[in-house]
Amino acid sequence: MIMEDLSLHILDVVENSTRAGAKKIKVEIHEDLKEDSLRIEITDDGKGMDAGMLEKALDPFYTTKTVRKVGLGLSLLREAAREANGDLTIQSEIGKGTRVKVTFQHSHIDRKPMGDMTKTMITLIIGNPEVHFLYLYNKDGRKYRMIDTEKLKAKGNLSSISTGELIHLVKKSLKEI
């Protein structure tokens, strides 16, 4: 499994959240050029993990999935962070959800590119219309992009609009800020 950019890692983590029954998922990206940092936080209200599962979550040979015997997603993301002078932490509580926080040295030569977050969010929203997604992108303390699917739903029922209309709404939302 090759994760060429960070948006693919984000897609993987968020898909884990949806499999954990999350109904609300928040993806935040914070770039701070002055502090030379990039931080990604993914928070969900899924079923959460107990201490034993949390301890195993970063083990590449542990997975709760039945389709394969390895769970490389989080361990690969942690490795990508460490290669760029950063790290990954997970906080989780049964019945309350999980928060994955990843940090990178922004200017590090080995930091993976961000990738196409617009396509990533469109994929997640189309594939999970019942989930309330929040996407926030901040650079140097200024909010640049935001998606709130509850606000998009207020403009029209996401399940009844065409894929093309949804893509247009998401792209427009990302350009508004």
pLDDT exceeds 70 at position 103: yes
pLDDT of residue 71: 47
pLDDT, one tens digit per residue, over 130-169 is 899 999 999 998 887 788 888 877 766 555 556 677 777 7
Nearest to 13 by CA among 144, 108, 131, 102: 102
d(CA 146, CA 26): 11
Kindly report the backbone phi and psi dihedral angles of residue 72, in degrees, each rounded to the nearest multiple of 5, phi listed first: -75, -20
pLDDT of residue 177: 47
Architecture of domain 6-176: 2-Layer Sandwich (3.30)
d(CA 6, CA 119): 12
Of 95 and 66, more confident: 95
pLDDT of residue 68: 45
- The answer to whether 44 touches 22, Cβ cutoff 8 Å, is yes
Q: What pTM was estimated for this model as a whole?
A: 0.86
pLDDT of residue 69: 41
Token pair in block for residue 157: 């029922």
d(CA 40, CA 36): 14
Cα–Cα distances (Å) from 102 to 28, 106, 172, 174, in that order, read: 11, 12, 27, 22
d(CA 28, CA 13): 13
Q: Where are the domains of the chain?
A: 6-176
Contacts of 99 (CB under 8 A, 6+ apart): 41, 42, 43, 44, 90, 91, 92
pLDDT, one tens digit per residue, over 43-56 is 999 999 998 888 87
Of 105 and 152, more confident: 105
pLDDT exceeds 70 at position 66: no
